[in-house]
Amino acid sequence: MHPPPVESIAAAWPPVGEARAGTLAGMPPLASSVGLPPLGELLDGLVVVRISLRVRFRGVIEREVALLRGPRGWGEFGPFLEYGPRESSRWLACAIEAAYAGWPAPVRSAVPVNATVPAVAADAVAGVLARFPGCTTAKVKVAEAGQGLADDLDRVAAVREILGPDGRIRVDANGGWDVASAQRALGALAAYRLEYAEQPCAEVADLVVLRTSLARNGIDVPIAADESIRKAADPMRVAREGAADLIVVKVAPLGGVRRALEIVGDCGLPAVVSSALDTSVGMAAGVALAAALPELPWACGLGTLALLEGDVVADPAVQHGGVLSVSAEPPQVDEALVARWSAEPERVAWWTERVAAAYAHLLA
């Protein structure tokens, strides 16, 4: 049996909608001459690295990813460890796109980025922001398990003090609040002039209720949907039900740059691009998405490399002056750095089985 074309990778999960309108309508599919590579070929070029984090981030202290090598360069397969094969298959599609097909042409040469502040104590905020020189926008994690609203207020207040009155602040709750808690928290946090609140509640229906309630109570905090887009069987529901003012898109969980562009076009909402604790290899795909969006009104969450202790690329994808430069090609890994961060053989075996399981879903 011949392998299916790479363009069929995007069909491994339900379609995002029938309409293809506007600037994205003419976006070419992945070249039909490029086949879904054989599993053995993918595994032959697989390496696994484990890189420590400078500070705990969403409960993670180390980032472990697999890197795949193809004719166009390297792709990153890094679904978080708790993700199953079906969800992980989207991350594999993204890695294959980078390694075998490349990305759409960019429409901009640089992408603005935001600083990312984990759920640290207020007195640690200055040290975190120092790793993002030149960034005038900060995303602050809130609703952390084991913490309370007072912790969030102290952290956001510290960010506002450092960024000054002209800095932009957005908060990310990762769905950690119910509607009542979200309204109470955002009512208090609004004093720091939030740019938006990302995924304050987990359920789309709750986002609808919260957004309406905030408007009725004069609380001017726009709502952004993240998990409701990248983890949803129906990403269009957010726009259809009026659950958000904008969407946050991560290229790997959506299946690649082209797939993410389709979702943004179908949603019809402003989009900000974010990352998932990627190395420079994975970050390059996020930058490619941000560079290809017809409009980019927001600073993007593509500066998280600063949270890692190391990288696999000699010239890492770090921001300078608050922006990342755009490259049309995936970065090349440095063998010495791969050796520095290489994972144990048993972890390589675990990731090999994981790639195989995700691959099976792409063939389904």
The two three-digit tokens of residue 294, written as one number: 């017809």
Secondary structure (3-state) at 323: strand
Closest CA to 64 of 356, 343, 354, 304: 343
Whether 255 and 93 have beta carbons less than 8 Å apart is answered as: yes
Kindly name the residue from 63, 69, 139, 141 that is annotated as catalytic: 141
Helix axes 280-292, 257-267, angle to 10 degrees: 40
In eight-state DSSP terms, residue 297 is -
Question: How far apart (Å, rounded) are the C-alpha atoms in residues 170 and 151?
Answer: 16
DSSP letter (8 states) at residue 280: H
If you count them, how many residues does the chain have? 364
- Amino acid in the structure at residue 117: V
Q: Is 139 a residue of the active site?
A: no
Strand 246-250 to strand 271-274: parallel, antiparallel, or no bridges (unpaired)?
parallel
Output DSSP code: residue 175: T
Residues sharing a CB contact under 8 Å with residue 307, sequence separation 6 or more, in sequence order: 53, 54, 55, 57, 116, 118, 131, 277
User: Residues near 10 by Cβ (< 8 Å), separated by ≥ 6?
Assistant: 30, 93, 255, 256, 258, 259, 262
Q: Which entry of 230, 250, 258, 354 is annotated as an active-site residue?
A: 250
Angle between helices 85-96 and 257-267 (to 10 degrees): 110
Cα first-last separation, the chain: 13
For strand 73-77 and strand 60-70, is the pairing parallel, antiparallel, or unpaired? antiparallel
* Residues classed as catalytic: 141, 250
